[in-house]
Structures are given as structure tokens and as C-alpha cells.
Structure 1
Amino acid sequence: MKRLAVLPLALAAAFAAQAATSTKYLIISESGKQIGEQAVERQDDGLTKVRFIFKNNGRGPELAEQFRMGADGVMTEYSVKGNSTFGAVVDERFERKGDQAEWKSTSEQGKKAVSGPAGYLPLNGSFETVSAYITALDAAPGHKMALLPSGTLSQTVLDTLEVNGDGGQKQSVQLLAQTGVGLSPSFYWATTGAKPRLFGVIIPGFANMLEEGWQGAAPVLAARQKQAESKMLEDLAAKLQHPLTGLTLVRNARVFDSDKATVGAPSDIYVLRGRITAVLPAGSPVRGADNTIDAGGRIVLPGLFDMHGHVDRWSGALNMSTGVTSVRDMGNDNKQLQAMLDETAAGKLLAPQVVPAGFLEGESPFSAMNGFTIKDLPGAKDAIDWYAEHGYPQLKIYNSFPKAILKDTVTYAHSRGMRVSGHIPAGLRAQEALDAGYDEIQHINQVLLNFLVKPDTETRNLNRFLLPAEKVAGMDFSTKPFKDFVADLAKKQISIDPTLSAFAFIQQKDGDVNEPYRAFAANMPPDVARGFAVGAMKIEGADTLKRYQQSYAKMVEFVGIMYKAGVPIVAGTDDIPGFTLHSELALLVKAGLTPAQALQVATRNGARYTRTSNDRGSIAAGKLADLVLVDGDPTKDIGDVRKVAAVITRGYVIYPQEIDTALGVAPFVKAAPQLARTTAAVADMNGGGNDGARRRIDATAHQRD
């Protein structure tokens, strides 16, 4: 849901004054539909004015921005007004006079003494501020620049090529990687030569923003960007995934039994070729183990499931560092997802195992740009056939799907062996989707809209958030309509994917760190943590804020009511990967589950409702060795689930400390259980001229030091 919010977020910096020019960029979806634009006017006195608009899936930002650059290349003023992706008011300004900088937005204000070049980092801005940074960093010593309020931005050239315009014109462009902001690099295409500026942005599998007249260059730019990005990711995977060759013994582990939601006596777990071969009482005789990991009495969980992800190539590190070894992808570009699955299987991508859900949408002005967009039943059947043939066990139906063919579509998906879930198509209530054969519903708002919508209620725009925010506070869950609905969910065993963490945004006050982020904000890089205090919705006045907070509290309460009635609950994020799955579990505890029951939801239920119980969801001989070693006891304090000391999955051991350090995240644990190899195992890995294996061994040895 929030993946689109990254589009308007950008940076600000300085570039020298230049002659008045104007540039227009078009934002084009992967399907070829224009979904936004950025119009830029650069005046000869150093003032730049920008109009940015982007709309997809019934929402998007609209921004009016301007900033002025001094002759010395230092930003002297900046302002932006408009609305954010979910409708929050954007009103932000910055001013620098000499060595004094001052800024203010709806969520923060500050001042700082600064000397030398430094660029202000807006909380909401257009891509034109990225363009300013590209120019400034090209001329900066070491291609680095200080940021305000804090941090340092760096820029590296990855590739250069010549592209052809739509009218036959040619231009040399370069691919840049900027690091120092966020949890992964940002990739931009820029012009070459003196004072380079932004040429375009490629978001693989989703959209591109290029200068008008150069849209035909998108495919070649996307291919070259993928090649460069893949090299970076493959190097990262080789560095952070330590292979377990031969038989591995995980000694003295307290195993979480996901069926009983209890912790057993200390055990020894044997792992070979990515699977568990035996679970024996601790201290049992050891026969020929090549590697040993001493769990030291730590609790070992089955790999956690995030049941609502939208994976990309960089999210895997966040999942791995937090113990999420399986992610159900709930909507993606089909081609991109298939490529990521191949890369993960080949060990070239640091990523969890992905269970894909096929995305099916209908045509409307509000359509989302994922999966297949269809018009009629034959089109829906063709899409379902493609998904079934490519191994998708589940279908996800979206907001604009034609309600007239819903029942027949669900029936056909069931005939192909697929579960069916989704949003509730516009014009229907949740009960009608259940009657049509749904097996699962995504998001708590989609569940409670059942009691708020009429056939003519438009739910493909912000209404699907505003109506629950306004009305749920006044609901009486003890009345017959609610009891009957919950009873039907339980009788039919309809699983619910509430994504409570993602929906906390409806109750957030500007300037306050939102509830799901509070437990880990202090561990994040400063620029990431700063964004946690930015409100997403337009909330006018204390009374409205109180009502929205009450509505959110009742959403959490309703999840607890469903769980206690026997309705299956699964744990999904639709938010920052990994870290917010832990937040989701904390919210389930707030809803009334015990910590052990919340862990059961994230393990056993994850496997059950992805149909992977045969090899995941519990720790037993024959199953995949997806193991999460944690400090503390998350069965008593769910907050301890954040203390992941080591992760074993796909035949590798992974240390969150290493990932956290690479991402600029403060580690959540102080010490990790180390991997000890026998002499024979080391010799075997170092033999045969396997330089890649030797590099991994060296990395492991260095980590042990």
C-alpha cells in the first residue's frame, strides 16, 4: 500500500544559477498509462518552481514547490505546499542566512548552525530537488555533501550510455546511485557533461519518469539499471549469506512449538542441505557434524511469515535481519516477481522465500498497476490460468474488479486449486464477497466497510480510509449484525489479514512517532526515523484526531473479537518489511492474544494459509530449516521478537548485526551465536578454486573476530 509514497519523497540541495529553462517529465506506468507529471521552471535568478502530481490506485500527492539557489551553490530557501499521498496537508519551508539554517513543517521545526555547502532534506518534495543534488554532488569533493538536519549524501556513477529520443534525437546519460538516505540506494538517470541534472527515474516493474519526448528510452534504461543493480545485490548476498555446507548442528536450542504455542526443553537441531534432519534432546551424541552453532539456550522460532508484502530487490535484507524467512507477495509486476524468484533460488539475492498471490484488477480511473487488469470473464480466466501455470497458490482481487463476474471468477480460481482473497470490489460489501466464495479478506478497513457502504459508495478513493476513520468509533460490536458476521467468518473459516500496523496511519498526529514505529525508531538512520513523525492523513482539529484514534482502537479490538470467536488471523505488514511485522505481532497482543498466540499466528498460521505446512511453520524433521534464534523470551514479552541474533534459511546462516551495520541500523542484539566449522569443512569449502566460497569463509571468520 505504501510503496507509492516513495515517489514524491526527494531531496534538496544547491546548484549554480543558470539561464531560465523549463522541463516537463511524464510519469508512465508499466502498462503505458500516464499517471502523473512534473513540470519544472528554472529561472535565471536561481529560483526553481515545480508542479508535481501523481495519481494511482485512487490516491497520490499534489505538490507546489519552489526553492532558490545562491550563486555559491548553497540553497538559501525552500518551500512546498500541497497534499501527500493519503491527503495530509504538506506545508514545509526552509531558510538559510549565512551560517544559520532554520526549517519548519507540519510535523517538526528546527534550527542549526552550519558552514559550507549543505542540502536540506525535505520530508515531502518533488524529484527536482534530486536534480539539484545531482548537480551539486557532481562538483562536490568526493561526490559527497552534508545534509540538513543530519547525514551525508554520496553519489556514484554506475553506467553511461547513449539513448534515442522519440523524435530521433540522441543524448548521453549516466546511471547514478545515491546513498545516505533511506535503507537502500536510490537510482537516477542524469545527463552528462558540465552541471548534470536529472533525466529520469526508473522504478522497475511499476513506472518511469522521463523527460517528455524520451519515453521510448525507458526499456533500455530499465535493462541497464537492472544489470547494475543486480551486480550490487549479488555482491551484498555473497557478503551477508554464509553457506552451511555439510551437516550443521544447532546446539542447545529451546524450540518454540507452533502447534501448542509453548517452548520445549533444550534440543539439538540437525540441518543438512537446507532441511531439518533431526530434533534431539540437547546433549545427544553427535555424529559427524561439519558445523556447529551454539544457541546458548536461546529460544528458536520457526521462520516468521509476513503475509502481506510487496517484495522488491532491496526489501530482502530487512526481512532477513528480522527473522522473516517467508513472505506472501500480495501484488507485484508479474515479470519482475518471476525474475526475483529466479535470483533468490540461485542465491544471488538476499531474500526470503516468496509465496506469490496473483493480482487481478478491473479497468477504471482508479485501477492499480499490478498483475493483470481485465475487462470480462474470459480475460479473468486467462489470467488465472497464467497464475496457476506459474505456481501461484492464491489469487488477490482488487478494488475495481467487475463485481458482475466476481462469483464466476472465484469459482474458476477454485477449480484451478487456488485460494481467493482480496479487497472488496467497489459496490459490494464484505458479506457479498464471502457469499461469492472468498477465502480471505485483506485489511481491517475492508472488513469493517461491510457495515458502512451502500451499492453507490465509492471505495476506490480515499473513502476506504476516511469512512472507517470517521465511523468505526461509533460501532457497537455487541449488536446482532456484528455477531452474525463474525459467526459467519468463523463458520466458513475465512482468514483475515488485518495489517493493523499499516492502518495505524489513520490515527497519527503530525509530529508524533506513529505507534508501529516507536519500538524501533531509535535504531533507524536519522532520516528514516524523521519520517516516522509525519502524518499521512488530513486530520483537522483535536476532536477529529480523538475520533480517529478511537476508531483505530476499535479496529484493533475487532481483530481480538474475531480471533476469540475462532476466525483465523494471519500477520501481514503492507509496510516497512520486517520491522513492522514485529509491530503487527505487538498489536495482536494488544488485541487480546497472548505473545505465544501471536507467534503462532506468524508461524503456524502463515504456513497453513500459504499451503506450505508440509515444509514450513514448525520445527520438525523433514521440514525446511527456517530457524530464528532470538534473545529473551518473546512468548512472554512479544517485544523480544525484535532481538534476532541469527537466522538460518535456504542453507545459509545470516547475522542481523551484519545486515544492520550495512544499512546504518543500530543492532538490536549485542552478541550473536557464532558458526564453528570443522577443519575438514573449511578445507572442503576452500578447495576446488572456489573463490566465492573462500570470500564467504573469510567474511564469516572476520565476523567471528
Structure 2
Amino acid sequence: MKPSLAVCLLLFSSPLMAAETIRYVALVDGGTQAGSQVVVHGDDGVTRVDFIFKDNGRGPELKEEYELAEDGTFKRYQVKGSSTFGAPVDETFTRDGDTGRWKSTSDQGEHRFSGTALYTPLGGTPQSSSVAIAALARRADGRLPLVPSGALSARKVASTEVANGADKRQAELLALTGIGLTPTFVWVTAGAQPRLFAYIFPGFLQLIEDGWQGNADALEKIQKDAEGEALADMQKRLARPLAGTTLIRNARIFDSENAVLGDAADVAVRDGRIVSVGPAGSASVDAQQVVDAAGRVLLPGLYDMHAHAGRWDGGLQLAAGVTSMRDMGNDNATLQQLMAEQKAGTLLSPQVIAAGFIEGESKMSARHGFVIKDLAEAKKAVDWYADNGYPQVKIYNSFPKELLRETAAYAHQRGLRVSGHVPAFMRAQEVVEQGYDELQHINQLLLNFFVTPETDTRTLERFYLVAEKTDGLDFDSRPVQDFIALLAEKKIVVDPTLATFEFLHQREGQLSPIVADVAEHLPPDVQRSRRAAEMNIPDDATGARYKRSFDKLVDFVGRMYRAGVPLVAGTDELPGFTLQRELELYVQAGLTPAQALQVATWNGAKYSGTLADSGSIAPGKQADLILVDGDPTRDIADIRKVALVIQRDKAYYPGEIHQALGIEPFAPAVQVQTTATAATR
């Protein structure tokens, strides 16, 4: 799941005194238009914005209006429309003297001003936040206070000349910090009154002023290089090289193959591999570093089996103990670059296992990977993925159903597993019978009982049907039991992403369950953003029905597991924290904590084709290890207390990573000591 527009489009421009209209186009897939923004700066001092973005059959539609105070911040602001998944957006802010008041569908509040401060909308357009850069440019201290909390700052990281025929201008790339967990990069026009020129989310989206589209690819390359430098510096600061041999003493080892916690042991690691595992106190290796586990639990690194990897995601993943992630759909060139940087050691990131994305051509196609029209193109896509070492392909929503059986057979012939969504106008049972090895997302399975031949699941129906109807589905009925039996018989792997689908029942003002138990560790603006609902839930009765439906989705996962259907733990949402919540939901579904951990370790390795190297703690395997300050085999919530991560020949302290991202640490670090230091203790 790509970042929501409210999160990733922190775009900025300055107000204009005279009437002027500025148009932007939103491009995906290297040039396909997926949206637009029209900004009208009226000579009455009011700016009016129309914004629409549609990708993969969903996206926001917003109308916005604002006036500015003398200091360039909002005096009056409002936005209305619908969010990515159809939730209503209705938000206002007004400032009267030293008092500002805001109200959205999920929160309201009041702020007493003692000077300049900018309100940050929850549900605004790219333009809604764009005022910030102009207001920030006025600030002598380079810091703009924000309402309700926080402060924004900017650093210029690159500049270049762009051209539109004979028209030329200078564009500057700014790195903005103070909103969210990572920097936001934005292109602005140079000069005393900068304004938005382009926002680029590499590999996904290019939003650029209309007429200047020919510059987008060049800007993306410059931005990638600039981000790469910042990321390499972050890796250098946070990674601790493990030279020679490292001895981990007195750790209780989780046996992921059998889902049991063993006795205390010593583990020796050299050159990124486990060289020995023996009873505590028995190791006789000459170690250059020592870790005193002091009876803590040592697990294999976790697998997130449903990521859409971005270069800034790795910190959250590693801090949560995720040392391997499977990418389930990405721009191919972007993913290849990310994997190369991870292998070269310049990127803070888990190892990446790639699933090749294959979509069919339609007006609602997701525009990454390969978008095909016929069997020849489908086979060509399979060949590319096989030749580039991908272990599987992922079929998507618009894939032509008449090509599925032959494409799956060809992928198997090339040695690839086949997984994915259920293409539109098909049912899950049909894709299993036609060659799928794995299904993504719990809603894709339940739609099996709700769709008709006319149901277009490329629309929001794929979410609302499940929310509306699952509550009334009898899981003990023959169709449901036969379907589960089919999945078990064929050993169809299921990647349910349960935690992601908690948005089906989250109400306005409620914290997302993904972060509800850790909210106090997160920056205030992140907490606030996680109180916004995504679904249109108009009343309490609907909310209660959607919650009962979600609870039955959890139950369905438990029923599948008990029937012998293999599970893998994936997220498709906020990195790190979502996997931890996913495992809690598996326990809620009836798995023991140890079984849930087995799903996130042994199963991840087994079904990603990496079990020979990862997934358990044994001599010869890669040293992907996490030390937990608690016992997650008894209380799965303890999986949040990761005190040390070893990723082959490097060690990371999760608390340091979290602090770098503005997050309060969850457990004190267990430090790696040199043998000289250890000997003096």
C-alpha cells in the first residue's frame, strides 16, 4: 500500500497577491496522468483549490479554500471532500486575534498564539500545506512553529535549471523536517517567494506544474541522488560493524521450526554467519565482541512478507526486528536500486525479497511493475522476473482473467511461485484452481462469498462489501468450510494483512489500532494523523457492524490456521509497528504467541525461498538475530521491546534508530562490547 496523499504530499508554494491560476498534473508509471490540482489565487485574497488523484481505483477528491494573515499563515481555512477510501473530509480552521480554533471529522481544538504559527490540516490537498514554505522563508531563525504542535524547518539539498520551451527557471530541492517520521523532499521555485514546482515520490508519483512535465524524470534522478546521500549518512551513523567474531552469551533461543523457547545458550557469529550454538557457558571461541544477553530471548530476525519498500522505510523495520521484507509491488527500477544499495551496505534496510508485479491494462490499473495486454506480454514479464532472480510474481486487480491459467502455468515452468489479488470478475476459489500458490489480503478471500460476475473489485467495493457482509456470513456453512478445505488441501499460503484492514472499522477520532498501544512513543503530529478514519462510517450501527465484520476476519484467519492453511505475516502499512500489531491479531485469532512468532520467522523464510539461509538460529545460517527485553513467547506484546538487532555483520540499537526518527525508545539497548571492555566489567 503506497503512502496516503495526506502523508506523502507535503507540498509547498507561496500566496500571490494578484489573481492567478496554477495547474499541476499528477503522473504515475512514467507519464500516465492520474490526477490534477488547480490552484486559483483570487484577487479577493482567497485561494481556491480543486484536487483529485486516482490510482488503483481509489484516491482523494478535495475542494479547499483559505485566506492568509499578514505573517503568511492561515487566517481562515477549510477543506471538504472524500479521502482515499471514501471517508468524508470536512475540516475548518479560523484565527481570531490570538486564538485559533480547528475542527475536523476526527478532532477539534483551540490554540493560543504568542506569535507566528501555522495550522497543519489533517485532510488537506498538496496546496493546503504549501503555504508553509513561504511562511518559513520569512522566518529569520529558519523554524516555523506549527499548530497543534511541532515546528517545521528546511534545508536546501540541490538546485537545477528547468525548461519549458524557451521559458527557463531555477528549481530548488528542499528537505523538510518536523512533520512525520522522515524528511519530506519537495521542489520549489527559487527566489524570495518560493512556491511549489514539483513533488516527487520516486518510483510512484510525479506531481509537477503543468507544461513542465518533461523535466520530471531529471528532477527525480537528482532527488534520488540527494536522498541517497542522506540515507547513506544515516546508515553510517546507526550501523555498528561487527569485525571478527561476536559472542552472544546466555540467551534463551527461540526454536522457530518447532515454535518453542529453549534453554539458555551461547551463539557465536563471524563474518555475518552463525558459527556455533551451544549451552550457556560452553563457548570457547576467541571473540572480538561480546553481548551479554542476561537471559533475554534471542529470535531469528522477523519477516515482513507484504511491504512496498521505500528507501526511508528501513529504519522503522530494523528497529522493530524486521531483518527481511518481501516487496509485493514496486517500480522495477526503483526496487532494483533499493536492493543494490542494501546489498552494498549503504542503506539502512532489511534484506529485500522481490515479488514481480504484473497488472493488466485498464483505466484502473496500478501503474508499477509490468502492465500487460496479452499473453505474450505476460510471458515477457514473467521472463524478466525469472531472469532477475525473483522467486515469485504477484498478479493484480486488472489482470485479464482469460490469461490467468496459462500465465500461472508459464510462471511455474520458469520456477516462480504465483500469488496476488483476485483479478476483477473472478473469485478466490477460481484463482486457486487456476494456479495460485498464495493469496494476499483477508478481504480478497472473503470476497469469494460476496461477489457476483458483475462485481468490479477494482473499485472501493472490495473494501465495503467485506465490511458490510462478513458479519452475516455463516463460517460453519458448507461453502465456507469447503473453501477453507480447498486452501488447506492445496497448501495455499495466505498473507492476510489483518492489521492493515483494521481501517474497516476505525471511527473518526479513534486511534488506529496499529499505534494505539504505542501512541505515547510517537510524535504528536503522527498521533493526530492516526486518528483520521479512512472508511465512510455514517452512524453507530454501521460502525458496530463493521467492527463485528472485522472480528470475524480475525476468526477466519484462526480457522484457516487450525485447518492447516499456511500463514505468513505481512503488513502493507506503517513499517515495523504494523507487523507487531499483526502478530497480536494472530494471537487473538487463537494462535499461541510462539506460533505467531513461528509464522513471522520460519514461515517467512520457508515461503520466500530463503530458509536455507535464514528463519532460524542454527550454525551456517545468516546472523539475522534480534534480542528482546521480555518474553514474546508468553506475551506477544513483548515483541515491541527489541533491545538489539544483528543483521549479519552489523549491529543496531533500536532505541537509537527510534530517536533519530523522533520516537521514544521501547527498551534500553543491550550493547555490543569489545572483549577488552567486557573483561573489565
Q: What is the TM-score with the length of structure 1 in the denominator?
A: 0.95
The Cα RMSD (Å) is 1.5
Aligned to 1:126: 125
**Mapped partners of 1:380, 1:75: distance in 2:** 51
Q: 2:672 aligns with which of 662, 672, 675?
A: 675
Quick one: distance in 1 between partners of 2:329 and 2:261? 35
1:127, 1:431 → 2: CA distance? 41
Runs (5+) with no aligned partner, structure 2: none
| Offset of residue 482 of structure 1 | 0.8
CA distance in 1, matches of 2:99, 2:437: 59
SS in 1 for 2:378: helix
Corresponding residue to 1:362 among 357, 360, 363: 360
Deviation at 1:678, TM superposition (A): 3.8
Match of 1:449 among 428, 447, 450: 447
Alignment counterpart, residue 410 of structure 1, candidates 408, 411, 424: 408
Query: How does 1:406-485 map onto structure 2 within 5 Å?
Result: 406-485=404-483
State the distance in 2 between where 1:72 and 1:488 align.
65
How far is 1:254 from its partner? 0.6
Partner of 1:157: 156
Change (3 A) 1:680 1:101: closer
Q: Does the Cα contact within 8 Å between 2:71 and 2:135 map onto a contact in 1?
A: no
For the residues of structure 2 that align with 1:674 and 1:666, how far apart are their CA atoms?
Answer: 18
Cα deviation digits, residues 64-83 of structure 1 (max 9, x gap): 00111022323211100000
Q: Structure 2 counterpart of 1:412, which letter?
A: Y
Q: Is the 8 A contact 1:290 1:680 kept in 2?
A: no
Q: Is the 8 A contact 1:521 1:532 kept in 2?
A: no
- Contact persistence 1:10–1:124 (CA under 8 A): no
Q: Are the aligned partners of 1:320 and 1:351 in contact in 2 as well (CA < 8 Å)?
A: yes
Match of 1:223 among 214, 221, 224: 221
Aligned residue type for 2:567? I
**Is it true that 1:31 corresponds to 2:40 in the alignment?**
no
Residue in structure 2 matched with residue 99 of structure 1 by the alignment: 98
Is the partner of 1:449 in helix, strand or coil? helix
**Matched-pair contact (CA < 8 Å) for 2:151–2:178:** yes
SS in 2 for 1:609: helix
> What are the equivalent positions in structure 2 for 1:283-294 lying under 5 Å apart?
283-294=281-292
In 2, Cα distance between equivalents of 1:403 and 1:575 = 28
Kindly provide the amino acid, as one letter, of the partner of residue 121 in structure 1.
T
Give the drift of 1:532.
1.3
Distance across 1 between alignment mates of 2:563 and 2:231: 45
- In the alignment, which of 279, 290, 293 is matched to residue 295 of structure 1? 293
User: 1:337-374 CA distances to partner (integer Å, 9 max, x unpaired)?
Assistant: 00011101111000000100000000111100110000
- Aligned equivalents of 2:35, 2:615: Cα separation in 1: 42
Between 117-126 and 509-518, the greater mean CA deviation after superposition = 509-518
Displacement, 1:542? 1.2
**Distance in structure 2 (CA, Å) of the matches to 1:19 and 1:114:** 29
Match runs of 1:564-583 below 5 Å: 564-583=562-581
Alignment of 1:14-25 (within 5 A): 18-25=17-24
Correspondences of 1:289-438 after superposition (within 5 Å): 289-438=287-436
Deviation digits for residues 375-426 of structure 1, max 9, x if unmatched?
Answer: 0111000000000011100110000000001000000000111110000011
* Cα distance in 1 between the residues matched to 2:253 and 2:174: 46
| Offset at residue 7 of structure 1 (A) | 6.3
Matched residues in 2 for 1:192 and 1:106: separation?
36
User: Size of the alignment, in residue pairs?
Assistant: 679
Matches within 5 A, 1:20-99: 20-99=19-98
Displacement of 1:22 in angstroms is 1.1
Larger mean Cα displacement after TM superposition, 286-295 or 498-507: 286-295
The amino acid that maps onto 1:3 is: P
CA distance in 1, matches of 2:176, 2:646: 31
Contact 1:8/1:125 (<8 A) preserved: no
The verdict on how the C-alpha distance between 1:206 and 1:9 changes in structure 2, with shifts beyond 3 A counting, is closer
Report the Cα distance in structure 2 between the residues aligned to 1:650 and 1:144, rounded to whole angstroms. Answer: 40
What's the offset of the Cα at 1:112? Answer: 1.5
One-letter amino acid of the structure 2 residue matched with residue 372 of structure 1? F
1:523-542 to structure 2, matched below 5 A, reads 523-542=521-540
Match for residue 693 of structure 1?
none
Out of 647, 658, 662, the position equivalent to 1:649 is: 647
Shift of residue 515, structure 1, vs aligned partner: 2.0
Contact 2:68 2:74 in 1 (8 A): yes
Amino acid in the other structure paired with 2:64: E
- Partner of 1:627 in structure 2? 625
8 Å Cα contact 1:364-1:400 kept in structure 2: yes
CA displacement at 1:650 relative to structure 2: 2.9
SS at 1:476 equivalent:
coil
Amino acid across the alignment from 1:394: Q
Give distance in 1, aligned partners of 2:98 and 2:674. 56
Partner residue of 2:551 out of 550, 553, 561: 553
**Residue pairs, 1:478-497, within 5 angstroms:** 478-497=476-495
| 1:163 counterpart letter in structure 2 | V
Alignment partners' CA distance in 1, 2:240 and 2:266 = 20
CA-CA distance at 1:159 after TM superposition: 1.1
In 2, distance between residues paired with 1:7 and 1:532?
A: 10
Counterpart code for 2:426: L
- Counterpart position of 1:688: none
Please name the residue that 1:279 is paired with: 277
Paired amino acid for 2:32: K
Give yes or no for contact 2:6–2:124 (8 Å, CA) kept in 1. no
Deviation per residue, 1:436-493 (Å, 9 max, x gap): 0100100000001111112111100000001011100000011111111111110110
* Range with greater deviation from structure 2 (377-386 or 519-528): 519-528
Cα distance in 1, alignment partners of residues 251 and 180 from structure 2: 35
SS at match of 1:142: coil
Partner of 1:3: 3
C-alpha displacement at 1:5, in angstroms?
3.8
Q: Counterparts of 1:285 and 1:502 in 2: how far apart (Å)?
A: 43
Q: Which amino acid aligns with 1:67?
A: Y
Question: SS of the residue aligned with 2:560?
Answer: helix
Partners of 2:6 and 2:123 within 8 A in 1:
no
- Per the normalisation by structure 2, the TM-score is 0.98
Report deviation, 1:431: 0.6
CA contact 2:266–2:283 (8 Å) conserved in 1? no
Structure 2 counterparts to residues 595-634 of structure 1, below 5 A = 595-634=593-632
What is the rounded CA distance, in whole Å, between the counterparts of 1:7 and 1:617 in structure 2? Answer: 33
Alignment-derived partner of residue 248 in structure 2: 250
Give the stretch that moved more between structures: 136-145 or 536-545. Answer: 136-145
Distance 1:418 1:370 in 2: 19
- Residue type of the alignment partner of 1:578: G
| DSSP-derived class of the 1:517 partner | coil
Q: Distance in 2 between matches of 1:137 and 1:632?
A: 45
Q: Is the 8 A contact 1:17 1:71 kept in 2?
A: no
> Retained in 1: the 8 A contact 2:11–2:199?
no
Work out whether residues 12 and 186 of structure 2, in 8 Å CA contact, stay in contact via their aligned partners in 1: no
Cα distance in 2 for partners of 1:113, 1:40 equals: 30
Contact 1:318 1:577 in 2 (8 A): yes
Alpha-carbon distance in structure 2 between the residues aligned to 1:639 and 1:68: 47
The 1-side partners of 2:472 and 2:308 are apart by 33
Q: After the TM superposition, list the runs of 4 or more consecutive aligned residues in structure 1 that deviate by more than 6 angstroms.
A: none
Residue by residue over 1:231-267, the C-alpha shift from the partner in whole angstroms, topping out at 9 and shown as x without a partner, is 1000000000100010110111110001111111111
Query: For 2:382 and 2:9, how far apart are their aligned partners in 1?
Result: 35
* Higher mean displacement: 616-625 or 71-80: 71-80
CA contact (8 A) 2:253 2:297 kept: yes
Q: Is the 8 A contact 2:247 2:287 kept in 1?
A: yes
Q: 2:661 aligns with which of 652, 660, 663?
A: 663
Kept in 2: contact 1:46–1:70 (CA 8 A): no
Question: Residues 492 and 394 from structure 1, CA distance in 2 versus in 1: closer, same or farther, beyond 3 angstroms?
Answer: same
CA contact (8 A) 2:39 2:127 kept: yes
**Distance apart, 1:287 and its partner CA:** 2.7
Local SS of the residue matching 1:515: coil
